[in-house]
Amino acid sequence: MSSSTTSTTTISTAGPPSRRNTELAMLAFAVLIPVFAYANVGLALSDEMPSGMLSYGLGLGLLAGVGHIVVRKFAPYADPLLLPLATLLNGLGLVLIWRLDQSERLARAAEAQGFVYGASAPNQLMYSAMGVAFFVGVLMLLKDHRILQRYTYISMAGALILLVMPVFFPAKFGARIWVTVGSFSIQPAEFAKIVIAVFFAGYLMVKRDALALASRRFMGLYLPRGRDLGPILVVWAMSILILVFETDLGTSLLFFGMFVVMLYVATERTSWIVFGLLMSAVGAVGVATFEPHVQQRVDAWLDPFAVFETGQGTEQIAQALMAFGSGGVMGTGLGQGNSDLIGFAANSDFILATVGEELGLAGTMAILLLYGLIVERGVRTALAARDPFGKLLAIGLSAAFGIQVFVVAGGVMGLIPLTGMTMPFLAYGGSSVLANWALIAILIKISDTARRPAPAPAPSPDAEMTQVVRP
Amino acid sequence: MSELTLTVMRLGFLAVLWLFVIVAVQVIRSDLFGTRVTQRGSRRGGSDRTPQRQQAAAPQQRQQQPSGRGAGRQRRGAPTKLVVSEGTLTGTTVALQGQTISLGRAHDSTIVLDDDYASSRHARIYPDRDGQWIVEDLGSTNGTYLERTRLTTPTPIPLGAPIRIGKTVIELRK
C-alpha cells in the first residue's frame, strides 16, 4: 500500500505567531503553584490556612498580570516562556522566604546576636514589585536592543565604576560587594553583569574577525596571536583584582566565565575555552594561596564538617549538606524541614538548601530545570536573533544567568568553594531581584525582535512595467 | 494537620511542579518550528496516493498534461493547496491560506528541502493583492523552473504547473 518514498504529511502554518495566550495560560499556572505552596506551608506550620494567602496570591497575580499586559503591548512576539518561568521562581522564592520568616530558631539566633528580627517576605514582595517595575521600564524605554550597541564603551566605563565602587565601602560579612548609603545598601555587581554584557557584545562584534582568523594551528588548537590575547588578559586581570580587593570569588568567576563564553561564541575557536579554563584555574589557585578570606572558603569547602571538631569557622555549609541529605528523594514537605539550622543567610545564599530539604531531590531537579529552561530560551533567542549584536548580547546574558546559578548551587551543594552570590529570583535580596528582572526584560526584547515575522514582500515598483514572460 | 494530608500535599506539590516543567517543554516543542506537520489519516492518504503513483510512473505525461488543464481552470477557482509531487518530500501538502511559503534548505523555511541542489533560501510563493499566487526565485544557485522555463522575475503560477527546485517538483492544486 505505502511506498517508502511517499510521505503523508501536511504542513500548515502553526496558529497565530505571537503566542501571547500561551504565555497567559502559563502565567496563571505559575501564579497558582506558589499559592499552593503557601497554603502547604501554612497547614504544615500552624494547622490552618495562612491569613495572608489571598493578598499574597493577588499581589503575585497582579505583578504577573502587569508584566503580561506590558509584554502584549510592547513585545508582542516575545518568547512565551521567559515571563512565566521568572514569575514562578520569584513566587516560590517568596514562599520559601516567608517560610523561613516563621522559624523561631532564626528569630532567636538573630536576637542573640543583637539584630532586630524582621520579616523578610514583605520586603521581598516590595522588591519583586520594584523588579517588575524595572521590567516594565526596560520594555517601554528600550525600543530596540540595537540602541545599546551605541553605548559599548560607555557601558565599559559604567561596569568598571560599578565593579570598583564596593572597594571604597566597608566590608560586610567578609566580602566587599556592597555599596551602603544610609540604611540602604545595594550589590552593584548584580547590575554590572548586564552592563558588561552590553560592552562585551559590542566589542566582540567588532573585533571577532581579528580574534577568529588571525591564528596559527598547533596540536589541533588554533593559537591566537600574542597581541590578540590582550582583551582576555585585561578581563582576567580585572577578575583577579576583584578577587583580591573585594574577596568575591563569585563575581570574578561570573565575569571571566561570561567573557570566555562570549569569546567562544563570537569566534568559534575552542582554544579560547582551553585558555579560559587554564587562566581561571591559575588565577583562583594563585589568589587562594595568599588571600586569607578565600583560603577560609576553600578550607570550609574541602572539609565542611571540621567545624564541629575545631569549633572554628562557620557551620553553614555543613548544615546545608545535612539539609540536602535529610531531604532525600521526595523531601520532608514544605514547612517541615530544619533548614533554618543554617542560621545566617538561610534565606539568601543558602535558600537552595531549603528547597533541597523540603522538596527533596525531585523538587531541586525541577527548580534547576526551571533555571535551565530560562537559559535555554535565552540561547534559543540568540540563535534566532538576526543581528550579531543581539546574538552576542542574548548569549552573554543567558551565560551570566547560567553561571550564576551554577556558582551558587555548586557552592551550596559543596561542589565548588562557596561564594557570596544569590540564586536569581529565588533568594532574598533587592539588587538581585531588580537586576534579574531587567535581564529577563532585555532577553524578551531581543526575542521579540528575533521572532517578529519578516515583513510581507513589498510590491516592487517596476513589477507592472516589466512584461512577465509566460512560457 | 494529619500526616496523610501533609504527605498528599507534599507529593501533590512535587507533581504540580514537574507538571509545569513538562508543560513548559511542550510549549518549547510546539515552538520549535514555524509550521505544524500532521500525519494524514490512512483513509485519506490512501486515496491521495493513487494518482501520485501514476504520476511517478509517467512523469513525462504528467508534465504536459497540467499546462493545458491549468490555463482553463485558473479563472474558475483559486488553488487551495500546494503539493510536492516529486523528490524526498513527495506527498507533502501545504494549505494555502494567504501566507508566504518559503522553500529552501534553511531550517526555518516552510518547506525544508533536503537537497544539495537547492539553496538555503531558494524560492518563495506568495499571493499578490488580487489573490494570484506568485513564485519568485530568491537568487538561488541552480534556479527555479516553472514548467521548462527558468524564472527571472516573480511569475504567476498556473494551477497544476510543475515548479522544479533541484530534485523537488511542487504544484498548486485545488
pLDDT (tens digit per residue) in A198-236: 999 998 888 887 777 776 666 666 666 666 777 777 878
User: Where exactly are the structural domains of chain A?
Assistant: 20-451
Residue closest to A80 by CA, chosen among B29, B17, B27, B33:
B27
What pLDDT is stored for residue A302 in this prediction?
87
Q: What is the mean pLDDT of chain A?
A: 84
Q: What percent of chain A has pLDDT over 70?
A: 87
- 3-state SS track over A393-417: HHHHHHHHHHHHHHHHHHHHHCCCC
Contact A331 B34 (CB under 8 A): no
**Mutate which: B5, B11, B31, vs A, most A CBs within 10 A:** B31
Higher pLDDT pick, A314 / A203 = A203
Whether pLDDT at A308 is above 60: yes
- CB contacts of B33 in chain A (<8 Å) are 14
Give B 27-46 residues with CB within 8 A of chain A: 27-28, 30-31, 33-40, 45-46
Whether pLDDT at B38 is above 80: no
CA gap A187, A257 in Å, rounded: 19
- CB contacts of A459 in chain B (<8 Å) are 128-129
What pLDDT is stored for residue A342 in this prediction?
79
User: Where exactly are the structural domains of chain B?
Assistant: 81-173
What pLDDT is stored for residue B71 in this prediction?
39
CA gap B95, B81 in Å, rounded: 4
Residue closest to A402 by CA, chosen among A410, A413, A392:
A410
Say what the alpha-carbon torsion angle B71, B72, B73, B77 is, to the nearest 10 degrees: 100
| Complex ipTM value | 0.86
What pLDDT is stored for residue A438 in this prediction?
95
- 3-state SS track over chain A: CCCCCCCCEEEEECCCCCCHHHHHHHHHHHHHHHHHHHHHHHHHHHCCCCCCHHHHHHHHHHHHHHHHHHHHHHCCCCCCCHHHHHHHHHHHHHHHHHHHHCCHHHHHHHHHCCCCCCCCHHHHHHHHHHHHHHHHHHHHHCCCHHHHHHHHHHHHHHHHHHHHHHHHCCCECCECCCEEECCEEECHHHHHHHHHHHHHHHHHHHHHHHHHHCEEEECCEEEECHHHHHHHHHHHHHHHHHHHHCCCHHHHHHHHHHHHHHHHHHHCCHHHHHHHHHHHHHHHHHHHHHCHHHHHHHHHHHCHHHHHHHCCCCCHHHHHHHHHHHHCCCCCCCCCCCHHHHCCCCCCCCHHHHHHHHCHHHHHHHHHHHHHHHHHHHHHHHHHCCCHHHHHHHHHHHHHHHHHHHHHHHHHHCCCCCCCCCCCCCCCCHHHHHHHHHHHHHHHHHHHHHHCCCCCCCCCCCCCCCCCCCC
User: CB neighbours of A322 closer than 8 A, spacing ≥ 6?
Assistant: A341
- CB contacts of A10 in chain B (<8 Å) are 37-38, 40, 92-95
What pLDDT is stored for residue B45 in this prediction?
39
CA B67, B73, B78, B80 torsion: positive or negative? negative
Å between A91 CA and nearest CA of chain B: 12
What pLDDT is stored for residue B72 in this prediction?
39
Cell numbers describing residue A289: 594561596
What pLDDT is stored for residue A298 in this prediction?
84
Whether pLDDT at A121 is above 90: no
CA A242, A248, A250, A253 torsion: positive or negative? positive
Q: What percent of chain B has pLDDT over 90?
A: 10
Contact A366 B155 (CB under 8 A): no
Contact A37 B13 (CB under 8 A): yes
Question: So what CATH class is B81-173?
Answer: mainly beta
Contact A362 B99 (CB under 8 A): no
- Chain A contact for B167 (CB, 8 A cutoff): no
pLDDT (tens digit per residue) in B103-118: 888 777 888 888 788 8
For residue B126, the chain A residue with the least C-alpha distance is A457
pLDDT (tens digit per residue) in A2-14: 444 456 666 665 5
Other CB atoms within a 10 A radius of the CB of residue A292 amount to: 9
CA gap A351, A332 in Å, rounded: 15
Residue appearing with cell numbers 493545458: B68
Å between B119 CA and nearest CA of chain A: 19
* Most confidently predicted of A122-136, B81-95, B147-161: A122-136
Least confident of A116-120, A157-161, A221-225, A279-283: A221-225
Contact A471 B147 (CB under 8 A): yes
What pLDDT is stored for residue A365 in this prediction?
95
How far, in Å, are A445, A453, B29, B141 from residue A75 at the CA level? 6, 13, 21, 37
Give B 65-104 residues with CB within 8 A of chain A: 67, 88-95, 97, 99-100
Rounded to two decimals, the pTM is: 0.77
- CB contacts of A12 in chain B (<8 Å) are 35-36, 38, 94-95, 97
- Chain A contact for B57 (CB, 8 A cutoff): no
Nearest to A81 among B28, B52, B149 (CB): B28
Provide the pLDDT confidence category of residue A293 given band limits of 50, 70 and 90: confident
What pLDDT is stored for residue B75 in this prediction?
46
- 3-state SS track over B2-28: CHHHHHHHHHHHHHHHHHHHHHHHHHH
Give mean pLDDT, residues A244-257: 81
Å between B89 CA and nearest CA of chain A: 6
**Mutate which: A2, A3, A8, vs B, most B CBs within 10 A:** A8
